[in-house]
Amino acid sequence: MKLATWNVNSLKVRLPHVLDWLASSQTDVLCLQELKLEQEAFPEAELAAAGYGAAWFGQKTYNGVAILTRLPLAPRDVVRGMPNYPDPQSRVIAATVGDIRVICAYFVNGEAITSDKYQYKLAWLAAMQHYVAGEMRQHDGRVVLLGDFNIAPADSDVYDPAAWQDKVLCSQPERAAFEGLLALGLTDGFRRFHPDTVAYSWWDYRAAMFRRNLGLRIDHILYGHALAERVRDAAIDTTPRRWERPSDHTPVWLALDDSFST
C-alpha cells in the first residue's frame, strides 16, 4: 500500500495535477489539504472516473481536507473534525482504510508568534495530540497521520535555520508539539529512510525559491508503532512542483509492504 499527502492549495485549480499524479504514482491512499471547496463542490465524479473513492470535509475559501482511496475499497468509519474540540475550520478528517486508521490533517499555520492565531495553533496542537493518542489506543497503533503540519521539526528541515529561528513553523513550542506526537509511538516516515537528507516539501512562490531550493519540510507522514515492520520506503516527490501553476507544496509518500486490503 502506498499512502501520500499533498497540500494542493485549491483542488479546483489543481485537480488536473492530482489526476495526473495519481495515474503516474499509483498511490492507494492520498490525503489532500487546502481543498478550498465547499462540501457540495467536491469533484467526486471526476475522481471516481479515475478509480478513486473519497471522504472529504470541505469549507468555502480556505481549509478543507480529503482522503482519496482506490476503488472499490472506500474509507470507512469517517469522522470529520476532532471530537470534543469545537473548531469552525475544516482541518481534520479520519477514516479506516484496510486495517489502518488514516488521519488527514491541515495543521494551523499560526501566522506569527505574536499573533492570536499562534495561540490558536498551540491550543489546536494540544487537542491534536490528545486526539491522536486516543486513536492510537483505539486502533492498537495501526495509525498513520498525514498532512501539512506547518511545522519544520528540526533545523535540518529549514533552508536558513538562523533566519527562521523562533519564527512561526520553527518555534520551540511547535517543535515540542511535533515531538509530543512522536512520543505517542509514531515515527517520521521520511526521516526513518533519509535521516541526513536535506529535502523540502514547501517553497514560497516568491523569489524563485523552488528553483533555488530554498524551502521547508513541513509536510509529514507519521506512522504508528504497529506498522513499523510493514513500512518499506518513503520519499518527497518534487516533480509536481515543476508543473505549470503548481501548488507551493509537493507530495510526500510512504510505502507499506502489503497490498491494499480489507
Catalytic annotation, residues? 106, 148
The DSSP letter of residue 149 is -
Query: What is the per-residue DSSP string for 9-78?
Result: S-HHHHHHHHHHHHHHHT-SEEEEE-----GGG--HHHHHHTTEEEEEE--SSS--EEEEEESS---EEE
**Grid coordinates of 104:** 488527514
Single out the residue of 226, 229, 217 nearest to residue 191, CA to CA.
217
At position 89, the amino acid (one-letter code) is: Q
Say what angle helices 116-138 and 172-182 make with each other, to 10 degrees.
Answer: 10
**Angstrom distance (rounded) from CA 143 to CA 99:** 9
